[in-house]
Structure 1
């Protein structure tokens, strides 16, 4: 506990933790102040992301970058899952699908590109495990194919197309979850020696004890999820005040804030020349959302949703996910990165963001 208090005392960014109780109090006392709640929730998520970053790095120091990246991606995606479950219960399937597609694209392009850029500004070249990146990109490509199929079936000239798309989505959900589970078995068990990252541990850094790190991970993840719920409830009204479209909010803003904790960890690891951890967080999180979170939401919609949800996304979202996957394959193919490689990925992301801001797609 003393190490945690020392970390908070020595880091000015963590002083913003004072915003956490403030945003909870404001949500109770002035729930209609959407713009203020939006700003306070963002200020609260930033220091929580910093704590999550340090705790994850301490766990990765014990378990290795591959397992550490998977752990961070899993805990970070709990936030997206909690947000999506709330929307699922309310029948807001458009918001659910926008958050899923937006999280995949944001993690694949923004988080990965910014990690390459930040690490490249400090190191001339950086290397990472190409096999791990190629596997995660392959899993993303599998998910993209699965997202294309329901749209193709629904577009058929048939009165039973909707029912067929629903049945197909249910089968695809089970298949994707099985693929994700087998991928974990492959990387963490049967062929784990292929995916071991290089040793980039820097001297002078003392990781937290594993107990403190895990306790911090659990506690901060819960707080991030609670604050994120307040953020989602206020972001739509605040977006109108700032002139943002619903498509831009769901695909860009919610994804960026929801992934703040993972981004803090990925960016910090890149600056410390631990690019295996950064790539593992970025691509691992994207593939986990596509192959696990989205299928789980489809299955849960039969239990808690007003009606079953399918995997039929609007065409623009599928195109963006496909292009993001192809971009990730392109920039990770060599196993080396420099700052301009990150710029290329960020440019693709900014093209998507500008398109959504100016001309939002018609979402079903």
Structure 2
């Protein structure tokens, strides 16, 4: 416990942890103060993300960047799953689909781009493991094809009704989950040596003991999930106050807040010249959402949703996911990055965000 207590005393950002119980209590006492709850929930997630950042880096010191990146992506995506699950129970399927597509694009473009930018400002040129980037790009292409199929068929009016679209979505969901599981087997077991990152010397603060790091990860993830529930319940009313469409809220706002914990780790790793970890988190999280979280939500909709949810996204979302996948595959093909590469990725993300804000789509 001593390393954790020392971190709490000397890191002013972690003092914001007092807002976690404040947000939880405020949600019970002032359930209709949506803007206040929105602000409190966002501010409470920030220090929790910082805790996750330090704990994940400590785990990565023991397990390597590939496994560390997967662990952080998985824990971070639990937040995405909780946020989407709350919206699923409420029948807000447009918000759920927007958050799925938005999380893929946010992680692929914004998180990866900001990691390249922040790392490049400190280090002239950085390198990362190319096979890792290629694997995740291939998985994202698989997911994009699966998203295109029901949307394209629906647009072509080749199916007689929604029932067959839902059957197709279930079949594709199972296929994507199987593809993701085999991808994990390939990268972590049968061909593990290909995806191992470069060795790193210990710099800065010493790593926490592995037991403390894992307990901190688990506890922080639980609190992130609790605060995320408050966030998703208040974000819609707050969005209406600021004139944001449901598509923009799901695609941009929910995706950014849901990825806060992962971003904190990815940015910190990039600044420490551990770009293998940053790329593993950003692209690993995107592929996990596309091939696991999204399909799981489709299957969960049959039990917790008012009606089954399908994989038919509005055309603009499919195009943005496809473009983001292409851009990420092209940018990461060389295995090197500099600060301007990050700027380009962020600018592509900004184009999508501005377009969604000014020209909100008619979401089915």
Name the residue aligned to 1:262: 262
CA deviation after TM superposition for structure 1 residue 205, in Å: 3.0
Matched with 1:35 is 35
Distance (Å, rounded) in 1 between the aligned partners of 2:256 and 2:165: 30
Measure the CA separation in 1 of the matches of 2:58 and 2:74: 16
Corresponding residue number in structure 2 for 1:202: 202
In structure 2, the CA distance between the partners of 1:34 and 1:134, relative to structure 1 (3 Å rule), is same
How big is each residue's C-alpha offset from its partner over 1:276-312, in whole Å with a ceiling of 9 and x where there is no partner? Answer: 0000000000000000011111111122222211100
Alignment of 1:124-203 (within 5 A): 124-158=124-158, 160-203=160-203
The Cα of 1:90 is off from its aligned counterpart by 2.0
TM-score of the superposed pair, with normalisation by structure 2: 0.98
What residue in structure 1 maps to residue 286 of structure 2?
A: 286
Matches within 5 A, 1:323-362: 323-362=323-362
In the alignment, the residues of structure 2 paired with residue 300 and residue 203 of structure 1 have an alpha-carbon distance, to the nearest angstrom, of 43
Give CA-to-partner distance per residue, 1:303-357, whole Å, 9 cap, x none. Answer: 2222211100000000000010011001101000000000010000000000011
**Structure 1 residue 162: deviation in Å?**
2.5
Shift of 1:74: 0.2
- Give the secondary structure class of the aligned counterpart of 1:202: coil
* Alignment coverage as a number of residue pairs: 364
How far apart are the structure 1 equivalents of 2:23 and 2:125? 42
For the Cα contact (< 8 Å) 1:201–1:274, is it kept in 2? no
The answer (yes or no) to whether the contact 1:154–1:164 under 8 Å persists in 2 is no
Contact kept? 1:166, 1:310, Cα under 8 Å: yes
Match of 1:23 in 2: 23
- Structure 1 match to 2:96: 96
**What secondary structure is seen at the aligned counterpart in 2 of 1:333?**
helix
State the TM-score, normalized to the length of structure 1: 0.98
Structure 1 CA distance for aligned equivalents of residues 159 and 147 of structure 2: 21
- Is the contact between residue 202 and residue 272 of structure 1 (CA under 8 Å) also seen in structure 2? no
Distance in 2, Cα, partners of 1:244 & 1:324:
23
Give the whole-Å Cα distance in 2 for the aligned partners of 1:232 and 1:91: 13
How many Å apart are 1:152 and its aligned residue?
Answer: 1.7
Deviation at 1:142, TM superposition (A): 0.6
Q: Which residue of 2 aligns with 1:70?
A: 70
Alignment check: 8 A CA contact 2:94 2:363 kept: yes
Kept in 2, the 8 Å contact 1:143–1:176? The answer is yes
> What is the deviation of 1:158?
4.7
What CA distance in whole angstroms lies between the structure 2 residues aligned with 1:70 and 1:203?
A: 22
Q: How far 1:117 sits from its partner (Å)?
A: 0.2
Any unmatched runs of 5+ in structure 1? none
In structure 2, what is the Cα distance between the partners aligned to 1:55 and 1:275? 17
Superposed CA offset, 1:62-94 (max 9, x none): 000000000000000001111111222222211
Large movers: runs of 4+ above 4 Å = none
Bigger Cα displacement from structure 2, 151-160 vs 204-213 = 151-160
Q: Which SS does the other structure have where 1:144 is aligned?
A: helix
Aligned with 2:333: secondary structure? coil
1:60 maps onto 2:60 in alignment? yes
1:128–1:336 CA contact under 8 A, matched in 2: yes
**More deviation in 167-176 or 82-91?**
82-91
Alignment of 1:222 onto 2:222: yes
Residue 159 of structure 1 deviates from its aligned partner by: 6.0
